[in-house]
Amino acid sequence: MAASESGVSSLSRENNWRKNLILQLQERNKRQTYCFADLISLHNRLFENVNTLRGENIQLTISNETLRREAASGTPGLSVNADLEARLLKQAEELATLHRRKGEHTQQIVDINNKLQEMMKELQAKEISLAESVELNANLRLEISKCLNRERELEGVNQMLKDEHQALQLAESFSSPTAFLMHTILKFGKRQAKMQKELEDAARDTRPISPDRSSLKEGISGLPTAVPTKVSVTFTAHDGEVYAVKWSPVERMLATGGADRKVKLWNISKGAAENKGILVGSNAGVMCVDFDSTGTLILGASNDYASRVWTVSDFRLKVSRKACMQLIFLEFTTNDVILLCNTVLLILLPKYNLFEFEY
Partner 1 sequence: MANDREVLREIWDGKIPVCFTLDSEEICELQGPDPFYLMVPRLSYFPLCTDKIRKHFIRHIQSDSKQEHEMWLEFNGIPLKWHYPIGVLLDIYSNDVELPWNIVVHFDRFPENVLMHCQNKEVVEAYFLSCIKEADVLKHRGQVVSSMQKKDHNQLWSGLLNDKFDQFWSVNRKLMEASNIEEGFKYIPFRCYTSEDKYVQKLVKPINEEGQRKTLRHLLNEVFPDNENVTVFTHGITPPLETPLQWMSEHLSYPDNFLHLIMT
Q: Is residue 9 within the footprint of partner 1 (CB under 8 A)?
A: no
Shortest distance (Å) from residue 58 CB to partner 1? 12
Binding mask 125-164 for partner 1 (x = CB under 8 A): ----------------------------------------
What is the number of H-type helices and E-type strands within the chain? 6, 11
Residue 241 makes CB contacts below 8 A (sequence gap 6+) with 258, 259, 285
Please say which residue, 44 or 63, places its beta carbon nearer to partner 1: 44
- Please give the size of the binding site for partner 1, defined by CB under 8 A: 24
| Closer Cβ to partner 1, 21 or 233, answer by number | 21
Q: Is the dihedral of CA 120, 121, 124, 129 positive or negative?
A: negative
Helix axes 76-173, 35-74, angle to 10 degrees: 10
Query: Are the C-beta atoms of residues 233 and 268 closer than 8 Å to each other?
Result: yes
**Is-contact 245 283, C-beta < 8 A?**
no
- Min dist CB 64 to partner 1, Å, is 22
Give the contact letters, 12-51, x = binds to partner 1 (CB under 8 A), - = no.
Answer: -xx-xxx-xxx-xxxxxx--xx--xx-xxx-xx--x----
Of 4 and 175, CB closest to partner 1: 4
Pick from 306, 274, 287: which is nearest to 241 by CA? 287
> Which lies closer to partner 1 via its Cβ, residue 21 or residue 203?
21
The least distance separating partner 1 from the CB of residue 20, rounded to whole angstroms, comes to 5
Q: 264 Cβ partners below 8 Å, 6+ apart? A: 237, 238, 255, 256, 257, 258, 275, 277, 278, 279
User: Under the rule (CB under 8 A), what is the footprint of partner 1?
Assistant: 13-14, 16-18, 20-22, 24-29, 32-33, 36-37, 39-41, 43-44, 47
